[in-house]
A = this chain, B = another copy of it.
Amino acid sequence: MNGLGESHSEQAGRPPEARAQGAEEAEVGLAQQAWTLLFELLHTHMRNFPALAAEFDLSPVQAHVLRQLGEGALAMSTLATYLSCDASNVTGLVDRLEARKLVERRSSEQDRRVKMLVLTEAGAELRGRLMARMALPPPFIASMPEEDLLALGDIMRRALKPQ
């Protein structure tokens, strides 16, 4: 869990034009500090995501697809946007999930070029277990004092609010 102090020193070592000037300097410093700390924790935690997905015999991306599909039917092109990947990629991804009877392709009736993706019953059941598993807080959260949890929740809700 080092690398944090170092990140700060690298930040300080960057050329002046990369740093804020005058009145905004304190704000930028705080934002970078908070972000660097959060980024470190996140990366450390995200290392475990492939193993978490593997508990359900899913790849990380497949887990992500199931998660998105819970919101309702999605066009393949929409899924490509959500995954930030090329449409050709989604074809193979869905092929494998469909072969496992977790999702289904359904031709849209409005536009017959479009194929809508829906979870099968088995897919919805698997997704439910996956979501419950992902909701389990990791140790660094679980061991936080109540006041920190409350403050963190409030801050995150405010961050989501204005959109």
Residues of A at the B interface (CB closer than 8 Å) are 1-4, 6-7, 10-11, 14, 18, 26-27, 30-43, 45-48, 50-51, 64, 67, 70-71, 83-84, 128, 131-132, 134-138, 140-144, 146, 148-153, 155-160, 162-163
Contact = CB atoms under 8 A, between A and B. Distances in A.
B156 A50 contact: no
Given A47-B84, A132-B10, A141 B71 contact: no
B140 A148 contact: no
Nearest to A163: B1
B155 A152 contact: yes
B32 A135 contact: yes
A48 to B, nearest CB: 7
Given A31-B144, A39-B135, A48-B84, 14 more contacts: A10-B132, A10-B135, A18-B132, A30-B150, A30-B153, A34-B137, A34-B153, A34-B156, A43-B64, A47-B83, A50-B84, A140-B159, A144-B155, A151-B151
A158 B1 CA distance: 13
When all copies of this chain in the complex are counted, the total is: 2
A61 to B, nearest CB: 11
Contacts of A6: 70-71
> A interface, by DSSP: helix, strand, loop or mixed?
helix
Contacts of A135: 7, 10-11, 32, 35-36, 39
A137 to B, nearest CB: 4
A95 to B, nearest CB: 22
A134 B39 contact: yes
Contacts of A160: 1, 4, 37, 40-41, 140
